[in-house]
Amino acid sequence: MKRAVMIGAVAASMLTAVSFARSSWCLGMGGIGPIRAGMTVEQVLSLADFPGIERKQPVGECWYLRYHGGGSDFDLMIIAGKVVRVELKGASKLHTFSGARIGTTEGELAAMYGAGLDVQPHKYDPAGHTITLKSSDGGFGLRFETSGGKVSAIQGGPWEHLTYVEGCG
């Protein structure tokens, strides 16, 4: 009985640690938490193989590895077996290193990131904008989609893959 209780306590603490790690991860221009652009799917799964990972077989060269659960929702765009973009949307409570998250206002983005932001009309939402921030070398960036003045989606990764408006579509 003591052994079963001990095993249960260890398992619970491991799940808590994994949950904390995910909720404390921040999105940067090159990845989220320990997951980096350029990693293979196998490398990602060795770091983040936890409940909630959607394991669908890829259809074509571009597909998504999705994690949804506990508010730490994120999607990884995969091309040719490697991570090329991280996406936050929907119910995700994750945020960028500067604190931008789903629901952040355009004014708050301007205060966080300043003059480096490029604001353009959203391709599909007349009440929205696409706001981008490039790294100093131009190789990476963040892309914020807004609607009604609030962030509705955030992507981070290599610049060339942030310009895919329809994702893999």
pLDDT digits (tens, 9 = 90+) for 134-154: 999 999 999 999 999 999 999
Rounded to 5 degrees, what angle do the CA atoms 7, 11, 17 make? 145
Amino acid 95: pLDDT: 96
Find all residues with CB under 8 Å of 73, minimum gap 6, and list them. Answer: 67, 88, 89, 90, 91, 92, 93, 94
Between 44 and 13, the more confident residue is 44
Find all residues with CB under 8 Å of 75, minimum gap 6, and list them. Answer: 64, 65, 66, 67, 86, 87, 89
Look up residue 27 and give its DSSP letter: E
For 152, counting Cβ atoms within 10 Å of its Cβ (0-12 exposed, 13-18 middle, 19+ buried), the class is: middle
Domain residue spans in the chain?
2-162
pLDDT over 70 at 44, yes or no: yes
DSSP per residue over 90-124, as a string?
A: TT---EETT--BTT-BHHHHHHHHGGG-EEEE-SS
pTM for the full model? 0.83
